[in-house]
Amino acid sequence: MTKKPIRIVGVPMDFGAQHRGTDMGPSALRVANIAAGLRRLGYEVGREVDIQVPSMESRAYKEISNMRFKEEILDVCGRLCARVERILNDGDFPLIYGGDHSLAMGSVSGISNHLAQEDKKLGLIWFDAHADMNTAESSPSGNIHGMPLSALLGMGDPDLCSIGGPQTKVDANNVALVAIRDIDDGERSAIQESGVHAFTMRDIDEQGMAAVAKKVLEIVNNGTDGFHLSFDVDGLDPEIAPGTGTRVKGGVDFREAHLFMENLADDGRLTSMDVVELNPSLDIKNQTAGIVKELVLSAFGKSVL
C-alpha cells in the first residue's frame, strides 16, 4: 500500500443502533492510540477531526416509516460524505472512527463520488456478523444501522439511497460480505437477488481464511480502482471483542482476523476504512479497542518481519 497521509475522522453517533454507547467508540479508539502505531509504521497522520453529532437525548424522537432518527442520520452522513470526498481529493486516506454502522452510508458515498469524477468504480468489503441489507419494510427494529448496505446498493428508502447524490454508490458485483452469521428473514432474498458475494462463517470454517481472503480480493478489485473496508467490530467473535451491542457467537477469531488484514495490506489497494459498532460501555477495560488497534495496524502493513 502506498503510504498516503492518513486523516482520522471521528463520528460519535449512536442514532442508528439499538444500544446506547457507540457514540463513545471514537474516544475508545483514541485511547488505544492507533495514530501512534500508524506513525511508527511510517505514516503521516494529520490532525484528527470529528463530525459533530447531537446527543440522542437532545432530539425529539419521530417515527418515520420504521426508520428511527432518520433525519439526524441523513444530516450526519451528508456531512461525512462531503468530508471524506475532500480528504480523497487532497490525496489522503480517510480512516473513520465510529459510531454505528449507519455512518457507512456517508463515508462510502463520499468515496464513490470521488472516484466517479474520473469514471472509476469502488470495491467494498463489508466485514460484519450481519448483512445490513434491511429496508424500512423488512427491518424488525427500525434501526438504520441494519440498512446501510442496501441503501448503498440503491435499495430501500430514496433519501438514504441519495446521500451524496442519486446514483448507486457501489456495484453489487464488487461487494463482499465477510463473517456474516446472523441474517434477518427479510434480508435473505435481498442478499440472493442483489448479486453481492457473501462469505459466511461456514465458508471461513470450511475453506480457511486465506482462501476466503483471496476470493474477496478478486471480487472487490475486479474492474475497480481500489476497495473500501467497512469493519464492524461484531464480525469478530465476542470472546475476543465483547465491546459491541450486537454480539453474535461464533465469529472470526484473533488470528483469522489478523490474516485477513495482512492479506489486505499485501494487496495494496485499500483506499479507505471505517471502524464501527465499538461500544465501550459494554467492553472490559477497553479490550476490544486494543484488539481493533492491532487489526487496523495489520491492514496498514504491520508484520512480524
Residues with a known catalytic role: 101, 128, 130, 132, 145, 232, 234, 277
- Centre a 10 Å sphere on the Cβ of residue 92 and count the other Cβ atoms it contains: 17
Percentages (nearest 5) of helix, strand, coil residues in the chain:
45, 15, 40
- Centre a 10 Å sphere on the Cβ of residue 93 and count the other Cβ atoms it contains: 24
What is the rounded CA–CA span in Å between residue 103 and residue 177? 17
- Centre a 10 Å sphere on the Cβ of residue 284 and count the other Cβ atoms it contains: 9
Which secondary-structure segment (H or E) carries 275? strand 270-276
All three cell numbers of 121: 468504480
Helix ranges (DSSP H) in 147-228: 148-152, 158-161, 185-194, 201-207, 209-220
Bridge-based pairing state of the strands 175-180 and 123-127 = parallel
Helix ranges (DSSP H) in 33-69: 34-40
Q: Dihedral of the CA atoms 35, 37, 42, 45 (nearest 10)?
A: 0
Give me the amino acid identity at 265.
Answer: A
